[in-house]
Amino acid sequence: MLLVYLATAVILVAWLLKSIKDGSFTIKRTPLDIPIALFLGANVLSTIFSIDRQISIFGYYSRWNGGLLSTISYGVLYYALVTFFNKERLFKLLKILLASSLFVSIYGIAQHHVTIKHTNISWKGIDEGYWAVDSQVRSFSTFGHPNWLAAFLLMITPFAFFFLKISKKIYEHFYYTITIILIFIAFTFTYSRGGTVGFIVMILILIGGTIFVFREKFLITLKKPTLSFFSLLPILLLLIFAAWGATFYFFGNAFTSRAQPVSLSSVVKPKTETELSGPAGSETGNIRLIVWRGAIETFKHYPIVGSGLETFALDYYKFKPVEHNLTSEWDFVYNKAHNEFLNYLATTGAVGFGSYLILIFAFLFLVAKYLIRNRSTEIGFFSVAILGSYAGYHAQNVFGFSVVAIALLFFTLPAFFFIATENLTENKITLPLKNQINTLIAKIVIVVVSLFLIAAIFATWIADYFYNNGQTTTNDNESYQSYKIASTLRPDEPLYKANLGLATINLATKEANAEKRKEKITEGFKYLNGATDIAPSNIAIWQTELQAIYSLSAKDPAYTSQTVKTAEKISSLAPNAADIQYSLAEIYIFADHPREAQKQLEKVVALKFNYEDAWDTLLKTDIQLNDDASFKKDFEKFKSIFPDKTDQFLKNLNQT
């Protein structure tokens, strides 16, 4: 996303400087101006009333796509594209995009461990053992996750077919034929179910739209068979579909050959973020339905403008359905609803969701209207390619969500259409620069602002580097220094402040000098309180504070009551999360509040009846309280749920 920000800043500055030179600001308007304005306005409203403005402005940390700044950037790039590109430049851009997708596909294919069915042929992926994610099982190439690679490839495929159709030279025909085949093989190796649905929708629209656009020529060809209309195209299409069929035969597809789903839980700790599915876990479709219910519950509580852009991770803690605790991903963080439409509904409410639908259907209407009026044309077929890409994107988004690369395509596909169809209106706004001094001042202001923007972007990148360094190092002093630099560069980021506070407290607990220890503790709480002030609804920030205070209370009992209060605060933010509620029970035990712990543990096992650790702790707490009645009742339930663990529990109990 930072690269998009940088490109946006550079393009906008160049645009403004050109405008000063010309004496007028030139922008081309499109038929989507009003839907785009409505969508942007809804995003602004959602950000203003967000439960966490920091996240809504910048996006969920580490991904950053979907926040207000990213939407504004996509909007700037959209208007820059329609203003300065013509059809020839657009086609060159798409050819470059296709060339890059070819390299992406080759890398994705090379990543995959291949065992060809019905043969003895097999080879390992080139990245085997390198990435934390199992790339040889489901390829992700340069995209970080198979679903995102699948979405990108399905969106780019229609344009490969377009250039295959309009190419004049034989080597170009074969180049695009090979590109399409390799893209499909790489797509297959993602084994993405949502991507496969999107791909099917894209292909159906591409076939149906092509027949519609060229229906008159098709009828003539059927009456008088000839190869003159398509030249080599029928043979190349047969080659492509034969290659696709062979790919299906030897490698299967997402619904029949997905041996081991990939989860981001294998990349990062579950408490950070997740993609749906996990090896040998619950069926992803069932988990999605549960997550979707959580999204609908969020909408019911924030029906007008939603909870705020990109705040689903915070929402889902509040409105998580209880039955999610019984799935294999019960303790994962969900920062997306895994349905782009429900995600907008939950985070931007009826206003944002309505504007999103208006934006989508307004564009679909404009493309359909153009296709009805323009038949048997090169641009007609190009419009079909755009329609297929656009519809495929939204079809896969029913089961997934956008990241930077595919979100950028979503916003620029309409620009491609308006450039190709020349459905643009040029507007020139005269600038009130009456003399050279005013012109010079304007240029200086723009340059200064641009330098500030570029510096801010690089500061964000450097801060992220030091933050990650602080996360990975095992040296407390190095961790403190890294977080200190990150927080200095980005003082508005609560994640940096919280971790800096934790690192400072860690140093304090190891400080022998009482005066210095006191100073470090004061400094640590300054950072921790600053983080919770910025993001009072962000459970991750509170968990970092709890970790810091707990380490203090382990050394000094004076902080025990504050540890309990912080744990109770976290518990209130995630009422149905069994792991969070169990953490509160453990804090009660640590604080020597066995009655509160017993009551809390009963709540935990009600949320997740098969939570073995919680049952074990509950039974031991019953014994500690000499509560024979509760122990008898709880032990009977324990035996019915874990009949094979009963003897081991009694054995461990006798040993203690």
Mind listing the pLDDT tens digit for each residue in 246-256?
Answer: 888 877 777 77
Residue 569 pLDDT > 90: yes
Whole-angstrom CA distances from 406 to 55, 315, 393, 592 are: 20, 24, 8, 52
**What pLDDT, on the 0 to 100 scale, is given for residue 62?**
79
12 domain residue, yes or no:
no
pTM score: 0.88
Give the integer Cα–Cα distance in Å for 258 and 244: 18
- Which of 276, 275, 357, 335 has the alpha carbon at shortest distance from 539? 335
Residue listed under structure tokens 């490839």: 153
Mean pLDDT of 313-322: 93
The helix (run of H) or strand (run of E) holding residue 363 is helix 340-373
Residue where a domain stops, chosen among 238, 259, 280:
259
Give the integer Cα–Cα distance in Å for 195 and 193: 5
636: number of Cβ within 10 Å:
10
Residue where a domain stops, chosen among 259, 282, 310:
259
- Which of 365, 368, 363 has the alpha carbon at shortest distance from 410? 363
Domain containing 563 — which CATH number? 1.25.40.10
**What pLDDT, on the 0 to 100 scale, is given for residue 427?**
93
Q: Three-state SS for 349?
A: helix
Give the integer Cα–Cα distance in Å for 45 and 618: 46
567 domain residue, yes or no:
yes
Mean pLDDT of 518-540: 95
444: number of Cβ within 10 Å:
10
Amino acid residing at 650: L
Reduced 3-state DSSP string for 177-231: HHHHHHHHHHHHCCCCHHHHHHHHHHHHHHHHHHHHHCHHHHHHHHHCCCCCCCC
Residue 532 token pair: 């919770």
In Å, how far from its chain's centre is CA 409?
Answer: 15
556 domain residue, yes or no:
yes
Mean pLDDT of 530-539: 95
Give me the DSSP letters along 230-274. Answer: TTTHHHHHHHHHHHHHHHHHHH--TTT---S---GGGTS-TTT--
Give the integer Cα–Cα distance in Å for 505 and 518: 10
Range of weakest confidence among 4-13, 108-117, 456-465: 108-117
267 domain residue, yes or no:
no
Q: Three-state SS for 490?
A: coil
Which residues touch 218 (CB under 8 Å, ≥6 apart)?
Answer: 211
Phi and psi at 24, nearest 5°, equal: -155, 150
Residue listed under structure tokens 């207000």: 68
- Tell me the per-residue pLDDT of 157-208, one tens digit each, with 9 for 90 and over: 999 999 999 988 888 989 999 999 999 999 999 889 899 999 999 999 999 9
Residue where a domain stops, chosen among 239, 259, 279:
259
Q: Three-state SS for 28?
A: strand
Mean pLDDT of 391-410: 92
Give the integer Cα–Cα distance in Å for 622 and 618: 6
Amino acid residing at 566: T
441: number of Cβ within 10 Å:
12
The helix (run of H) or strand (run of E) holding residue 595 is helix 594-607
Amino acid residing at 164: L
Q: Are 28 and 429 in contact (CB under 8 A)?
A: no
395 domain residue, yes or no:
no
Strand 114-115 relative to strand 122-123, pairing: antiparallel
Residue 264 pLDDT > 80: no
The helix (run of H) or strand (run of E) holding residue 115 is strand 114-115
Range of weakest confidence among 260-264, 342-346, 477-481: 260-264
Mean pLDDT of 403-431: 93
Whole-angstrom CA distances from 392 to 65, 252, 389, 406 are: 20, 21, 5, 11
243 domain residue, yes or no:
yes
The boundaries of the domain holding residue 145 are 94-259
Structural domain count of the chain: 2
Q: Are 163 and 353 in contact (CB under 8 A)?
A: no
Give the bridge partners for 426, in sequence order: 28
Give the integer Cα–Cα distance in Å for 371 and 361: 15
Range of weakest confidence among 106-110, 172-176, 246-250, 629-633: 246-250
Q: Three-state SS for 27?
A: strand
172 domain residue, yes or no:
yes
More confident residue, 64 or 316: 316
Strands (E), 412-509: 425-430
Mean pLDDT of 29-45: 97
601 domain residue, yes or no:
yes
Residue listed under structure tokens 């602002």: 449
Mean pLDDT of 64-93: 95
Residue 546 token pair: 């709890």
Give the integer Cα–Cα distance in Å for 473 and 486: 14
User: Could you tell me what percent of the chain has a pLDDT over 90?
Assistant: 69
**What pLDDT, on the 0 to 100 scale, is given for residue 130?**
72
- Tell me the per-residue pLDDT of 197-226, one tens digit each, with 9 for 90 and over: 999 999 999 999 988 888 777 666 666 655
Give the integer Cα–Cα distance in Å for 360 and 343: 15
- Tell me the per-residue pLDDT of 139-155, one tens digit each, with 9 for 90 and over: 888 888 899 999 999 99
Range of weakest confidence among 178-192, 415-429, 472-486, 638-652: 638-652
**What pLDDT, on the 0 to 100 scale, is given for residue 48?**
96
Q: What is the longest distance spanned by two Cα atoms in the chain?
A: 96
**What pLDDT, on the 0 to 100 scale, is given for residue 346?**
96
Q: What is the chain's mean pLDDT, rounded?
A: 89
Amino acid residing at 638: F
Q: Are 51 and 314 in contact (CB under 8 A)?
A: yes
Q: Where are the alpha helices (DSSP H) in 59-169?
A: 68-84, 87-111, 146-166
**What pLDDT, on the 0 to 100 scale, is given for residue 248?**
81
Confidence of residue 453 (pLDDT cuts 50, 70, 90): very high
Mean pLDDT of 80-85: 96
Which residues touch 454 (CB under 8 Å, ≥6 apart)?
Answer: 6, 9, 10
Give the integer Cα–Cα distance in Å for 112 and 114: 6
- Which of 574, 62, 48, 77 has the alpha carbon at shortest distance from 348? 48
The helix (run of H) or strand (run of E) holding residue 167 is none
**What pLDDT, on the 0 to 100 scale, is given for residue 270?**
37
- Which of 386, 392, 341, 393 has the alpha carbon at shortest distance from 368? 386
Q: How far apart are the first and last CA of the chain?
A: 54
The torsion region of residue 52 among left (phi > 0), alpha (psi -120 to 50) and beta comes to beta
Q: Are 505 and 551 in contact (CB under 8 A)?
A: yes
Q: Are 186 and 141 in contact (CB under 8 A)?
A: yes
Whole-angstrom CA distances from 220 to 214, 234, 277, 600 are: 10, 16, 50, 77
Residue 594 token pair: 């066995």
